[in-house]
Amino acid sequence: MENRRYKWNNQQLRNHVKVLDGEKQPSIILKNATYLNSYLSRWDTANIWIDGDRIVYVGDDLPANVRETEIIDCEGKYLVPGYIEPHAHPYQEYNPLAFAKYAAQFGTTTLINDNLVLFVLLNPEKAFDLLEELDKTPYNMYWWCRFDPQTELSNHGEIFHTTDILQWLRHESVVQGGELTAWPKLLEGDDHLLSWIQEAKRLNKRIEGHFPGASERTLAKLKLLGADCDHEAMTGREALARLKQGYYVSLRDSSIRPDLDILIKELLELGVQKFDRFFVTTDGSHPYFYENGMTDALIKKLINHGVPVIDAYQMASYNIANYYNLEHLHGSIATGRIANINILGDPKNPAPESVLAKGKWVKWNGGALHDASRIDWAAYRFSPLSLKWSLTGEDFHFANPLGIHLINNVITKPYETDLDLDCDGLPPDHDECFLMMVAKDGSWRINTVVKGFAENLGGLASSYSGPEDLLLIGKNKQDMRLAFERMKEIGGGIVLAEDGQIIHEIPLPLIGRMSDLEMEALIPLEKKMIRLLKERGFRHEDPAFTLSFFSATHLPFIRLTPHGLYDVKNRKVLVPPEKRQITLI
């Protein structure tokens, strides 16, 4: 096992003991608490002493000296460990701090976060400074170490190299490698990937899979190469197939894969009665999906489908902490653990009335408490996009009939249009649109068409896409150009234009990917965007995922990448990008 720094220093540990010796008062006592005993899987009653951010005693006793201690009588309430999100993508229009603040209001006090954006944008030293800043907030954040970018980057080897990968893997806040979106390369003999997996295993850290549709034999091979868990099961039988090969199984309910109802129903029908190798995730959904809850909503679904109440809570707390080797800090209400505690009015209603995060009240009696935590994002290169170039009339020349057929939110197929693209606008009697991907530095573009995105969309411009590119979609080239200019003006975001007017925008001033708003303000902006797109023919659930995954080569079948229009299965460029003449402004 790696040499991790213990969370509390010697003086803090001595002070925790002084509380038990009566030499120091606890900061909070939760008195007469009916709490979930994660080790006995039952409800017990105790008095819980908290000193700062740590639980220092759980038992029958009360301290003699409580003159300055906050005492909460929990008679009639139920206490459960703070929930853990095991698979968060904290850059889905929101930023990591805004997401953590919001999640805590629903009892999710710990996040296991994707590091992809930090890995691509920052050198390790600067990224680790940001991790340290985030650790000063009341929210618990752990991180993955990505091994691949899930797209074809022009400078892949410069970013994903062993030196930086190992620095991340060895960081004390990093608890896993993955997710393994490049698993086909691993099976084909990529020893760089395998050596990084081996190092993660040497450090006693987990490997997260991303194996949609994998056969039993493929799952077995990937297990032999080091995978520990997978969140891509879409049916009960697929979940059992992973369990039989020795995996932990993360059951997903997200904005593009709301699978939990099906998974639990089928697992129960298949006779599953033991749940200690299962947990639940919302898999980095977009803001609108979280309007009415987060992990608490998944626990509620488990309970409603007949999963035993205590098992449902364990699947959102103890099971996850145990899996990630964090049980000494998280997942239970016990001496020595971080004071992350949810207070419930009814054990069958997992939405908490009050929430303690690192021993601080972040919610009390149903109301959010002010948290002054902030991050100077500009200090970490999270600034508005500055595009010092413009599109020209030549950029809107579309000629190649090869295009992308959008089947659902993210799955695509190749197709060939028979439309005349040499026009200023396409008619609204079909679902084909112009589609342009252009480099953020203005050096190249790809012009194609997309079928199945919308029927009557004037123009959309988005910086919420791949790390190297921008997207324009629409029927009308003038509206597309107008949306692009407005997106530039606001420093990045998603902009809709129609009939020469801007009709909606979601500003994303943090590198064109993230908002600086709190979630409560961001959710209605996204909901309006979805409504407007659906009114214009978008037939799927989550357009933001569609935009961000146009370049995602871990999904079939046709993608837009800096290398061109790309056939994922055959690893072949169908249409190369065109170089642009950049006119700086």
* Cβ 416 vs Cβ 467: under 8 Å: no
CA dihedral of 576, 578, 579, 583, whole degrees rounded to 10: -150
What is 205-257 written as a DSSP string?
-EEEE--TT--HHHHHHHHHTT--EE----SHHHHHHHHHTT-EEEEEB-SS-
552 phi/psi in degrees, rounded to 5: -85, 100
The conformation of residue 389, written as its DSSP 8-state character, comes to B
Q: Which residue type does 386 have?
A: S
3-state class percentages of the chain: helix first, strand second, coil last, to nearest 5: 30, 30, 45
Instruction: State how far Cα 97 lies from the chain centre.
Output: 12
First and final C-alpha spacing in the chain: 54
Please classify residue 429 by burial: count the beta carbons closer than 10 Å to its beta carbon, then call 0-12 exposed, 13-18 middle and 19+ buried: exposed
Q: How many Å apart are CA 414 and CA 220, to the nearest integer?
A: 31
Give pLDDT, residue 1.
35
Q: What pTM does this model have?
A: 0.96
Phi and psi at residue 372, to the nearest 5° = -85, 5
Dist CA 238 CA 261 (whole Å) = 14
Alpha-carbon separation of residue 519 from 105, 109, 370 (angstroms): 11, 16, 14
- The answer to whether 141 and 113 have CB atoms below 8 angstroms apart is yes
Q: Say which residue the tokens 């109802």 belong to.
A: 261
DSSP state of 369: P
- Distance in angstroms (rounded) separating the CA atoms of residues 217 and 12: 50
pLDDT at 582: 82
Q: Measured in whole angstroms, how far is the alpha carbon of residue 323 from the centre of its chain?
A: 19
Count of beta carbons in the 10 Å neighbourhood of residue 396 = 18
Distance CA 51, CA 38 (A): 21
Instruction: Output the pLDDT for position 4.
Output: 46
The pLDDT assigned to 248 comes to 98
Contact 229, 206 (CB under 8 A): yes
For residue 140, give Cα distances in angstroms to 4, 132, 161, 196, 366: 17, 11, 28, 26, 21
The identity of residue 380, as a single letter, is Y
- Amino acid identity, position 157: G
Whose CA is closest to 245, among 277, 199, 270?
Answer: 277
Measured CA to CA in angstroms, residue 514 lies from 101, 117, 385 at distances of 15, 11, 11
Kindly report the number of other CB atoms within 10 A of residue 518's CB atom.
16
Q: In the chain, count H helices and then E strands.
A: 17, 29
pLDDT of residue 6: 67
Assess contact for 421 and 399: CB atoms under 8 A: yes
pLDDT of residue 3: 41
> How far apart, in whole angstroms, are the C-alpha atoms of residue 25 and residue 51?
8
CA distances from 552 to 285, 481, 566 (A): 16, 25, 10
Per-residue pLDDT of the chain (585 residues; tens, 9 = 90+): 344 456 899 999 999 999 999 999 999 999 999 999 999 999 999 999 999 999 999 999 999 989 999 999 999 999 999 999 999 999 999 999 999 999 999 999 999 999 999 999 999 999 999 999 999 999 999 999 999 987 767 677 778 999 999 999 999 999 999 999 999 999 999 999 999 999 999 999 999 999 999 999 999 999 999 999 999 999 999 999 999 999 999 999 999 999 999 999 999 999 999 999 999 999 999 999 999 999 999 999 999 999 999 999 999 999 999 999 999 999 999 999 999 999 999 999 999 999 999 999 999 999 999 999 999 999 999 999 999 999 999 999 999 999 999 999 888 999 999 999 999 999 999 999 999 999 999 999 999 999 999 999 999 999 999 878 999 999 999 999 999 999 999 999 999 999 999 999 999 999 999 999 999 999 999 999 999 999 999 999 999 999 999 988 888 888 999 889 999 888 899 999 999 988 776
Cα→Cα distances 173→18, 183, 229, 380, Å? 29, 24, 19, 18
Judged by DSSP in three states, 91 sits in coil
Give strand pairing partners of 469.
439
Cα distances (Å, whole numbers) of residue 451 to 37, 303, 535: 54, 41, 17
Integer Cα distance of 553 and 185 in angstroms: 12
Residue 349 CA to residue 343 CA, distance in Å, equals 11
Q: Which has the closest alpha carbon to 284: 87, 126, 13?
A: 87
3-state secondary structure 448-484: EEEECCCCCCCEEEECCCCCCEEEEEECEHHHHHHHH
CA 288 centroid distance within chain:
14
Cα(82)–Cα(36) distance, rounded to whole angstroms?
Answer: 11
* Residue 180: predicted pLDDT: 96
Distance (Å, rounded) from C-alpha 246 to C-alpha 224?
10
